[in-house]
Amino acid sequence: MEQQQIQARAIVRNIGQLVSVAQAPIAGASGLLQVLSNAAIMVDNDGNISWIGADQEVDEMLACSEQGHVNIVDAYGCVVTPGFVDSHTHLVFAGDRAEEFHLRREGTSYGELLRQGRGILTTMNATRHASSEMLLDLAMERLASVRAHGTTTVEIKTGYGLNLEAEERCLRIINDLNCSPSLPHEHVRIIPTFLGAHSVPPEYHGRRAAYVDLVVEEMLPAFAELARFCDVYCEREAFSVAESHRILTRAKELGYQLKVHADQLSPSGGSQLAAELGAVSADHLDYASDTDLEAMREAGVVATLLPGCSYTLRSPYPSARRLLDHGLKVALASDFNPGTSYSENMQMMLGLAMSAMGMSLDEALSAATINGARALALQDETGSIEIGKRCELALWSIRDYHEIGYHFGTNLIQSILVL
């Protein structure tokens, strides 16, 4: 046989089960998720997946080829999925809100705490008073945990600075995290989002229109190079539909992609707005009506569910089944933040989605990978193990992917692998 050079920078071998959605089904696999046993993946010099197939074929290829420098990674028979794409977090903040968590248990609601100037504003105070070094250190520690729980792409929002200087500081920290030291094969991709419209800060009390002016006229133009998305918290206790509309319209003109915190605590009109403005995703959706969902589907807005909030606020879980039945693309994200979801663990979100939101394992895994990527407009790059995509994997210390959700409350991830 003719000698041919293997055009691969790396080969991941000895994959017990490769589990991923695939637009073009991998030979020998079937179902919503493609499950391939005893598999291998080749990665080309640009870091893209160039081949997926049976591990034994790699032996044959290696035997009849002249080997260049190929890095062989042994997966030791474990389950391999795409790394999680966590499309909604508020990971840069100082302080904690444990006290509020316990107050809520005694009966004070999240909305009441917000109206008392606590909640988001408690974290804003702690964040404004923290040094940049402290904020970066805290964020790096959290990012290490994000990575250890299997996430390879994470969106991070600002929203605890709420003035020009502090929002910029947080955005720079988010961007710096992209370059924070990690082993190259454990690099987590960071997507920055500007969420200046998270709450009206106390210095604008009684002058909310002036704060919206500040967001629209100063912050948005200043941050266009630092953030990929603009998000607003469209809610009774936060920003009205009219205010959100103004902010998002300007953001779109400036080249931001859009997201909306929509219909979380009340029917706020946020998901309709997301549909009207062509947002990439609308998130929360606890109170979204059938008409809202229909509008989202027609506009192609991804529906992002955040089960950590229902868990933390002890509110009813929205039904993922209802959204799926509307034909929506449903993503799952952690919403990692100190108030409503203090967890960076996407395995926990999968478990909650399966036990309390009506999702099957295949749906939940798709929601946390490819649909997370869709919620960040990254579906052509990541979120599945397919030819042409980046090699961004989660290696699980399990032998069969059906253990996911079933074996709960423990970290089943061995490591992430980014090649």
Annotated binding site for Fe(3+): 88, 90, 261, 335
Q: Does 263 bind Fe ion (CB under 5 A)?
A: no
Half-sphere exposure of 64 (CA within 13 A, CB side): 6
Query: Quick one: angle between helices 164-177 and 132-148, nearest 10?
Result: 40
CB 302 within 8 A of CB 275: no
Closest to ligand NIG by CB, 13 or 104: 104
In 48-178 the beta strands, taken as DSSP E runs, fall at 49-54, 65-66, 71-74, 79-82, 84-86, 151-157
- The C-alpha R_g of the chain, in whole angstroms, comes to 22
Q: How far is the CB of 373 from ligand NIG (least distance, A)?
A: 20
Task: Write down the least CB distance from residue 361 to ligand NIG, Å.
Answer: 25
Residue type, 367: A
The token pair that represents 168 in the structure block: 């910029």
- Binding residues for 4-imidazolone-5-propanoate are 97, 160, 198, 264, 340
Q: Which of residues 325-364 bind Fe ion (CB under 5 A)?
A: 335
Question: Nearer to ligand NIG by C-beta: 52 or 91?
Answer: 91
Measured from the CB atom, is 229 or 401 closer to Fe ion? 229
Total binding residues toward Fe ion, as defined by CB under 5 A: 1
Cβ of 204: how many Cβ atoms within 10 Å? 17
CB of 125 to ligand NIG, least distance (A): 12
Nearer to ligand NIG, 155 or 392 (CB): 155
Nearer to Fe ion by Cβ, of 52 and 114: the residue is 114
Nearest residue (beta carbon) to ligand NIG:
339
Reading the block at residue 369, the tokens are 């990978």
Work out how close the CB of 288 gets to ligand NIG at its nearest, in angstroms, rounded to a whole number: 15
Please give the Cα distance from 340 to 352 (Å, whole number). Answer: 15
CB of 348 to ligand NIG, least distance (A): 16
Binding site for ligand NIG (CB under 6 A): 90, 119-120, 123, 233, 261, 264, 309, 335, 337-340
Annotated binding site for Zn(2+): 88, 90, 261, 335
Residue 233, binding choice from ligand NIG, Fe ion, none, Cβ under 5 to 8 Å by partner class = ligand NIG
**x/- letters, 291..330, toward Fe ion (CB under 5 A):** ----------------------------------------
Q: What's the CA gap between 177 and 162, in Å, rounded? A: 20
Distances (CA, A) of 360 to 23, 168, 365: 19, 40, 9
Q: How far is the CB of 265 from ligand NIG (least distance, A)?
A: 8
The item of Fe ion, ligand NIG, none sharing an interface with residue 311, based on CB under 5 to 8 Å by kind, is none
Q: By the 8 A CB rule, do 346 and 89 touch?
A: no
CB 303, min distance to ligand NIG, A = 15
User: Is 155 or 243 the residue whose CB approaches Fe ion more closely?
Assistant: 155
Q: How many helices (H) and strands (E) does the chain have?
A: 16, 17
Single out the residue of 288, 252, 250, 249 nearest to residue 269, CA to CA.
288
CA distances from 279 to 231, 232, 355 (A): 9, 11, 29
Closer Cβ to Fe ion, 235 or 335, answer by number: 335
The answer to whether 179 and 154 are in contact (CB under 8 A) is no
Which residue ranges make up the site for Fe ion (CB under 5 A)? 335
